[in-house]
Structure 1
Amino acid sequence: MSYAMTIRLYAGSTPTVERVRAALKDQGFGVLTEIDMRATLHEKLGVELEEYVILGACNPPLAHRAVQADRNIGLLLPCNVVVRADGPDAALVQALDPQVLVQLSDAADLRAVADEATRRLRAALDALSG
């Protein structure tokens, strides 16, 4: 099983980040963290990397249900969504597939949470791609 849900958009990564934020918001996710990997790695290591942003997305009701089902699941939260340059005029948008959560936990109640999170993240990606 692939652990990523991926789409390719023909737009720059900077405007794509804002579109991703809006699509996530429409599905009940807020962005708690934003990590600019390009800037961080350049500052800390002096290396070059394509535009690469990690958004830590959270849907509070789903996060609450997940933590109720398995207290250890916080190690895998929030849902990470990556926007990265893929050539001069394209960007990849990738979200961690929430089905990975049910593979790592024995908590039966987590399956319904992962199913809903998958549905919402897929809807956000679908909205971006068309």
Structure 2
Amino acid sequence: MRYDRTVHLDTDFAAAVARTRDALAAQGFGILTEIDITATLKAKLDRAAEDMEDYVILGACNPGLAHRALDTDRSIGLLLPCNVVVRRDGDRTAVQVLDPGTMVALTGLDALRPVAEEATRRLDAALAALTAAEAES
């Protein structure tokens, strides 16, 4: 089972992060956290991570969808599709989100299906906006 939804962009890393933030915002997702994995590992592990590619995790949240999911199952916070990864992948930049259907598949809770479907539509629209913007450039 695939658990990710991924697009690849032919743009530099910083531009990809900025465009990802904008695309998520257009779909009602705010960025609550940002973790620079590359910098964190370099700081904590020193030389062990010196060759790691640019890698950022954006903690995105759509409050309405999160509320609906949490009303269904308080433990679902463990599986909310909140992390958006932007990372260098060779000479391209990958943007990845957790497939919201994973919430339903792992819990077996059909009551989560409408939330997962709406989250999928919104996240797919954000990913499509990234590739469309790149095609226009």
Short-chain TM bin:
over 0.9
State the shift of 1:121 in Å: 0.2
- Aligned partner of 1:81 among 54, 63, 84: 84
- Partners of 2:75 and 2:126 lie apart in 1 by 26
Contact 2:36–2:57 under 8 Å retained in 1: yes
Other structure's SS at 2:128 match: helix
Amino acid at match of 1:29: F
1:26 corresponds in structure 2 to 26
Q: 56, 67, 72: which one pairs with 1:69?
A: 72
The unaligned stretches of length 5 or more in structure 2 are: 133-137
1:3 alignment partner AA: Y
Q: List 4+ stretches of structure 1 deviating above 3 A.
A: none
Cα offset, 1:28, TM superposition: 0.3
Q: Provide the aligned C-alpha RMSD in A.
A: 1.0
Normalized against structure 1, the TM-score is what? 0.95
Q: Distance in 1 between matches of 2:102 and 2:74?
A: 16
TM-superposed CA distance for 1:116, in Å, is 0.4
- Aligned amino acid, residue 85 of structure 2: V
d(CA) in 2 for partners of 1:103, 1:66:
14
Q: Deviation string for 1:62-108 (max 9, x for gaps)?
A: 000000011110112351110001224x2000001000000121322
Q: Which residue of 1 aligns with 2:135?
A: none
The answer to whether the 8 Å contact 1:20/1:128 transfers is yes
Aligned partner of 2:35 in structure 1 is: 35
CA–CA separation in structure 2 for the residues paired with 1:43 and 1:77: 28
Which of the pair is proportionally richer in helix?
2
8 Å Cα contact 1:70-1:105 kept in structure 2: no
Q: Alignment partner for residue 54 of structure 2, among 36, 44, 51?
A: 51
Shift, 1:120, TM fit: 0.3
The 2-side partners of 1:3 and 1:108 are apart by 18
